[in-house]
Amino acid sequence: MLFYVAAAICAIGVVMIAALLFRRLDRVTDDAQPDGPTGGHAGAMLSALFLLAFAIAIVVPWTTSDSARANTYVESQAVAEAYWAASQLPAPAAARVQAGLREYVDLVRGREWRMMADGRLSPEGWRRLEALRRDVMALSAADDQARDDRDAVTDRIEEITAARRQRAMDAKAAPPPGLLATTVGTGIAVVLFPFLAGARPRGMTIVPLALMAAMLGLGVYLTFDIQHAFTGGLAVGPDAFTELLPELDRIPGGS
């Protein structure tokens, strides 16, 4: 944040120095009108800067939410593949592993999903995956087929773990604080610019200005509302894991 403030101070210093230097030239004229060249240029640049910051503040969370939503389906599909692979294990290991995977799904779509609103995942989810991996790796393999079946389940559990790590990163992802501060700052500057330039709106001219300020305020609120992938207007829900449960019931040994 210190560097942002220093950059702003340097830019203001450049403007002041330029104003002092160009005042000595004979060709320049005073510009004290609200609709003069200075006001028009500054107003256009403020609007452009606000639109740029606003667009980035919308696009970045939107992209993050789309990626996070796609990753939940990757993880749920990995669970389904692990469930299928576990059905090839010898009894009672097959039922035990499948029950563990179903409990993991219930944990994710329930208590853990509420925790992700705070940017964290449940430690119990990691423990369950590690316990499943150790349980499968401890199974004895009488022949090559049994070894292949065991390795297939282990590989699927590793895929679940990898997708879970990505989900943990998605839960912590957020736009840079400086971006939101820039959006708010430029938005305020755009609203106050007519007054700062010396204009004094009267009568009906207040109406479009107030309407613009209201819409701009809603837009700025939106940038704060969607900055987290698992809360707000673009919140990713546990749909992928909820839709997974009927599929697990159709897998042998899943009922």
Question: What does the pLDDT look like over 87-128, one tens digit per residue?
Answer: 888 888 899 999 999 999 999 999 999 999 888 999 999 999
Note the pLDDT tens digit of each residue in 14-29.
Answer: 556 655 655 665 555 6
Note the pLDDT tens digit of each residue in 53-94.
Answer: 888 889 888 999 999 999 999 999 999 999 999 988 888 889
When pLDDT is cut at 50, 70 and 90, the band that residue 39 belongs to is low
Q: Are 5 and 13 in contact (CB under 8 A)?
A: no
* Alpha-carbon span 170 to 228, nearest angstrom: 9
The model carries a pTM of 0.77
* Alpha-carbon span 123 to 107, nearest angstrom: 11
Note the pLDDT tens digit of each residue in 200-255.
Answer: 777 777 888 888 888 888 888 988 888 888 988 888 999 999 999 999 888 876 43
* Alpha-carbon span 128 to 101, nearest angstrom: 9
* Alpha-carbon span 189 to 197, nearest angstrom: 11
* Alpha-carbon span 253 to 54, nearest angstrom: 51
- Work out the average pLDDT over 21-40: 57
Three-state secondary structure string covering 16-67: HHHHHHHCCCCCCCCCCCCCCHHHHHHHHHHHHHHHHHHHHHHHHHHHHHHH
Which residue's entry shows tokens 């329930």? 110
When pLDDT is cut at 50, 70 and 90, the band that residue 7 belongs to is low
Lowest mean pLDDT among 100-104, 129-133, 139-143: 139-143
* Alpha-carbon span 136 to 152, nearest angstrom: 10
What is the pLDDT at residue 180? 86
Sorted by sequence, the CB contacts under 8 Å of residue 210 that are 6+ apart come out as: none
What is the pLDDT at residue 91? 83
* Alpha-carbon span 229 to 136, nearest angstrom: 33
When pLDDT is cut at 50, 70 and 90, the band that residue 169 belongs to is very high
